[in-house]
Amino acid sequence: MGQDESTIVDDSVPPQSLSARTLPAVAEYIQSGRGKNIVVLTGAGISTAAGIPDFRSPKTGLYNNLARLNLPYAEAVFEIEFFRQHPEPFYVLAKELYPGKFHPTVSHAFIALLARKGLLLMLFTQNIDCLERIAGVPADKIVEAHGSFATQRCIECKSEFPDDRMREHVLDGKVPHCADTACGGMVKPDIVFFGESLPPAFSQKLHMTAMADLVLIIGTSLTVYPFAELPDMAREGKPRVLFNMERVRRVGGRSDDVVELGPCDDGIRTLADALGWTEELEQLWLELVGEEEAERQLQSWEKRDDAIEDEMQKLAEGVEAALNLDEGTKHPEVGASGHEDGSATSREVPSPDGGEQGAAPRPPDTWEKPAVAERAVPESSPIKASEEPKGTTTRGPSSTEQKEEPPPPDTDAVKGGSKGEPESSDLAPH
């Protein structure tokens, strides 16, 4: 759409809709009434201040700590076929990451404030941490592109499982089974695993990005597809604002793109100040998290990283104990598989030996009849980020069907929202 999205717009090119490519100009645009339908896109970087473990950073990343264990590969814990054979390691992680331990950040509170003011058209998140819900964003305004811990169901008969019983099992470290004794299948949260399809709401609401007057992109490197295509669906002349630690390829090439580099919460506070919302935002956030948590989130990144590193080491030890596999144990094949109904999936498909496999063509999304989530899903989910494959074509805002060649080798995740942490929580389990 228009200018090459990977090219940074020349400073001599004037914006079409904004008075300048700055946050005060974005605030002016909102206050004028022209930015009344706002779409927000979020990734792992929005939750790093909350202390949610990153999945790929060298020291604090979960995968780095799992790599030393007797697994086919670190991501196998989030592979649906491996889960069928060995669910215990996942439930060790689930106990640590389950909603209730972590609290919303200032950025989450800002999105909730947009909803309160009637300005939020839709929030698309790659995270599975439920922090948007906890912050008060209405459920009907949230598309959890990679699922979340909010609901759960039997992996066999797809029957829903009660929330209270799920929490009890997770906190006790037990694997829940279907309430229908005739079925007896295992239950797992509605998180998109490798080997599963994306929720139908994602494809059903893609068009809302094209309806937006303003798109805010917070804490995501935009490397996981099809989520990464959402900014492209915004109409020309409609501002897109990126809050991230580093530039991303898909934002910055349009005349009304604004790029705010640094911790997400810092940039959001700057925008809130320009809007005159500072007091309201800080009060809402304090009500959500309390003084002690607010103080913790404001501490130095170094202290936070040290705490997360210790936590990740203990978590990996717990997974190892749950797995309890001997060196010679054979693991089930956990590579990607195809389904005839073919639902939308993420693009990257790592092979068990750590190499890359080509991603299969990806038809429209379904959930009731899942296809394969080819290894790489959420930012806040267990999946790997990947660069856009060459030869990709998109049919339009309402379709995610693509033609693609095998993806290039995996590249380092772009940092998003916190110093020293790669942006992808791609579990942002988060």
Annotated binding-site residue? 178: yes
Beta strands in 173-275 (DSSP E): 187-191, 214-218, 240-244, 257-261
Annotated binding-site residue? 264: no
Instruction: Name the phi and psi angles at 191, rounded to 5.
Output: -95, 140
What letter does residue 335 receive in the DSSP assignment? Answer: S
Annotated binding-site residue? 154: yes
What gap in Å lies between CA 125 and CA 192, rounded to an integer? 13
341: closest CA among 377, 378, 367, 359?
A: 367
219: closest CA among 186, 152, 264?
A: 264
Our measurement of the distance from residue 337's CA atom to the centroid of its chain's CA atoms, rounded to an integer in Å, reads 23
The helix (H) or strand (E) run that includes residue 304 is helix 301-323
Our measurement of the distance from residue 284's CA atom to the centroid of its chain's CA atoms, rounded to an integer in Å, reads 24
Which of 86, 103, 146, 430 is flagged as catalytic?
146
Question: Three-state SS for 142?
Answer: strand
What letter does residue 423 receive in the DSSP assignment? Answer: S
Beta strands in 86-235 (DSSP E): 120-125, 142-144, 147-154, 187-191, 214-218
Q: For the chain, first and last CA: distance in Å?
A: 32
The helix (H) or strand (E) run that includes residue 41 is strand 38-42
- CA 197 vs CA 14, 108, 208, 346, 373: distances in Å: 42, 26, 21, 8, 5
Annotated binding-site residue? 130: no
Whether 128 and 144 have beta carbons less than 8 Å apart is answered as: yes
Question: Three-state SS for 195?
Answer: coil
Whether 106 and 268 have beta carbons less than 8 Å apart is answered as: yes
Please name the residues in contact with 284: beta carbons below 8 A apart, sequence gap of 6 or more. 109, 112, 113, 136
Alpha-carbon radius of gyration of the chain: 21
Is 146 annotated in the active site?
Answer: yes
Tell me the one-letter amino acid at 306: D
Locate 262 and state its tokens.
């640094």
What gap in Å lies between CA 302 and CA 313, rounded to an integer? 17
Sign of CA dihedral 58, 62, 63, 64: positive
Q: Which residues are catalytic?
A: 146
Binding residue numbers for Zn(2+): 154, 157, 178, 183
Binding residue numbers: 154, 157, 178, 183
